Structure 1
């Protein structure tokens, strides 16, 4: 039997996500590409691995059995890569890193500069992802590690195969248009019920975290604009159409003229690095994580 890591990963992801479309989104393939991987794996295994149930597919007993072994095989492969890296006297190789827009703008440039200076043989390739997708991208093996956002009120799922390490801790304030709430410097979310809010899609982790802390304070935000891009949200605040939560990193994405009010209630987010537990011992992964930790320590000391 001959099969590839991509084929095994497609099978494993199908057990976790349930649909070929979801697997395709996680792995960065087309649904047709995933189907081809699974069909090739089925031919190699010599057993039917999938059966169609209506418009969906589900694993056969053979598919379930192979998927369980596939997870271990992929883990062994990751251990082998780490072992090979440790045989070298220098940190080298190629790392694929997933990150969201704020991290790409404010963290990646400095991190890459330090990596070039300390580990010139290490190649880092970055992939900007939708922030809510970075966890799945690491789990699926699409990237080796990723920078993501974790909200204490709506945390990233904890899985035994993944490790989350907090780098930055940011507290939210409230960005309001000039002229709004004159004389106010600090506000409780309980007193924002009459304001117009600007938030991303309400199904995102971020929006759900905002709704959670607001409801805890006894208020339901009046969301008038659903905008995903942070810079666009800040532009709308500057234009006077609403308010939105903001952190120091977020403010760097678009210099804007608006007022920033402290919040009475604690509301924070954590910028985290997400990595597969089996890959954490790779010298290349450990080196990049160390650089990121140094950046976080520098920021905390300022």
Structure 2
């Protein structure tokens, strides 16, 4: 019987990189560097948030793959883990980065009053994402509400200033303003080639600035893919019978959804950091529940079932 071929140096290096301390420490170093450059004003807010998203995705993929690298890992479980890691990496990075660094616009213009029309080039794809922004007054608690037509159906949005309170000195509290001056909206242009301002109300001090971008991952598609990837991760954990694959993937998916839905180029870094906490809690709960269900539905590998039978 031929002897098994020893692992190559590249295989050994990859295993060490994925199971050791190299990638986690490198990820923390990137986060620290991005935070320092952003605090110093040398890195734009969107780029800082994109760096956070990339690190979150890479770390999630790394921790998802770790249980599959064991020599005793089930082959089917290993394949499921690889698929789940790839899905988690994509869904935690691509939609989030597209929200904070959207790239080159397909069209842009201004809508100042009801009935204004903004032409859109004929070669723009049907499904688009609109970044709508407007200036707010310098004081008070202004709010702007609007409806943009030309999409099926028309989309509604609002911009506003809200306040929270921060502690100042001993027992003192001071209001801290939070301006939401831009928002993402998505819709289907259909066969139309123009956007119209159907309604505008509130306290805007200037026209709505509308920028049109390609929508790489519509909300419905992202949600559907997230459910599928979480199911893959839960099945992988059920087959591998080790690690917390579904929890890690759920945290990454929650992060990606929160950033894609709430971050904008002007409000990116804080949302990205907050999404780590909120997405982590919600995603961990969803992942844990999915793994518990999968372990009841997905059959264990034969060797695991045999060991359980001997113990029984």
Report the TM-score, using the length of structure 2 for normalisation: 0.21
Greater helix content: 2
Considering only CA atoms, is the larger Rg found in Structure 1 or Structure 2? 2
